[in-house]
Amino acid sequence: MKIATILGTRPEIIKMAPIIDEISRRGINQIILHTGQHYDKEMSDNFFRDLNIPIPDYNIHVGSGTHGKQTGLMMKGIEEILLDEKPDIVLVQGETNAVLAGSLVASKLHIAIGHVEAGLRSFDMTMPEEINRRVADVSSTMYFIPTEESAINLLAEGFSRKNMFITGNTVVDACFRHLTLLKNVALKMNLFEI
């Protein structure tokens, strides 16, 4: 089995770190694809290094731009990589343009999609994030849901409960993960005893 994890922004990098760790811990073949939506060192590169996350296998370097331009460039790059790598599952997280692009491409290539933070809703269709998260849910085959309320949202929209998994919010897992990293660094530097 091969899992492709698509990241594009700082929050995705932070929140997906525990999932990337778990995939590695289980010995599952994994590729990490960074769209470069947040593209400078302070906005992404340092996060991989400082949070001890593997450097992405691919970086599309899409940069900034309009929603259409950014999403289109991401789709082109993601499609090329997925056609080459042939993953069994694509994981996306949240509601960014990277999530939209990854979900659309994977669904058209008939690759299973796992949406982390599925079912979240603002119910404000003027928000680009709301459009992205709804398209991701329609495209997905597995729903990793943070709360029961999110599951209810999906059920009310007609999604089958068969592929829903209430997992909790990965930001909580990320906080515990990153706190452990910080404690280890502090101990190594003799800053304080824990």
* pLDDT tens-digit series, residues 131-143: 999 999 999 999 9
Could you give the angle at the alpha carbon of 133 between the alpha carbons of 130 and 136, nearest 5°?
Answer: 145
**pTM of the predicted protein model:** 0.90
pLDDT at 142: 98
Topology annotation, domain 2-169? Rossmann fold (3.40.50)
HSE of 132 in the Cβ direction (CA atoms, 13 Å)? 20
Give me the pLDDT at residue 112, please: 98
Q: What whole-number distance in Å separates Cα of residue 149 and Cα of residue 153?
A: 6
Burial class of 182 by CB neighbour count within 10 A (0 to 12, 13 to 18, 19+): middle
- pLDDT by 10s per residue, the chain, length 194: 999 999 999 899 999 999 999 999 999 999 999 998 766 666 667 778 888 899 999 999 988 888 899 999 999 999 999 999 999 999 999 999 999 999 999 999 999 999 999 999 999 999 999 999 999 999 999 999 999 999 999 999 999 999 999 999 999 998 888 887 777 666 666 765 54
Domain extents in the chain: 2-169
Cβ distance 17 to 177 under 8 Å? yes
- Is residue 144 classed as helix, strand or coil in its secondary structure? strand
Cα–Cα dist 37/70, whole Å: 8
Neighbours of 104 (CB within 10 A): 20
Q: List, in sequence order, every residue forming a beta bridge with 92; answer none if it has no partner.
A: 115
Alpha-carbon distance of 89 to 70, in angstroms, equals 23
